[in-house]
Amino acid sequence: MKFITQLAAVAVLASGTQAVMAHHSTNGIYDQAVELELTGTVKGWKFINPHPSLTLTVVDEKGVEHDWDVSYGGSAVAHLKRRGYSIDTFKVGDQLKVKGHPALVKDAYGLLIEGGNPTHADGTPLALTPPGQ
């Protein structure tokens, strides 16, 4: 009986691990083979858990505005704070340039960014100051 209880406990823990990994995975959401560079205007910045949210209004080649949901992947507020982000990092109306992988779903207007993103529209880096520096 003890063996069955231990086996059940392992199965429960393993299934929970898969659920957490699936929740934080970007596989199947973004096209990792394609990289886009977008320049737009900050429409919103929510520095809240579980995942901060940046919305950029971008004008396409036809002159049509689209609101892009810019994702930092599975980063929580604590992760971005360590990189120097804060509630005041972006203001509505700021001009930014972002590079990343677009959503796989056509017309979804989602972008997964990585690394040193975003920058000011002219390409200069943001003035991020990690804690203790």
- pLDDT digits 0-9 by tens, 65-102: 999 999 988 788 998 999 899 999 999 999 999 999 99
Q: Is the pLDDT of residue 22 over 60?
A: no
Q: Is 2.40.50 the CATH number for 1-133?
A: yes
Q: Is the pLDDT of residue 7 over 60?
A: no
Whether pTM exceeds 0.85: no
Domain boundaries, the chain: 1-133
**Alpha carbon distance 42, 56 (integer Å):** 5
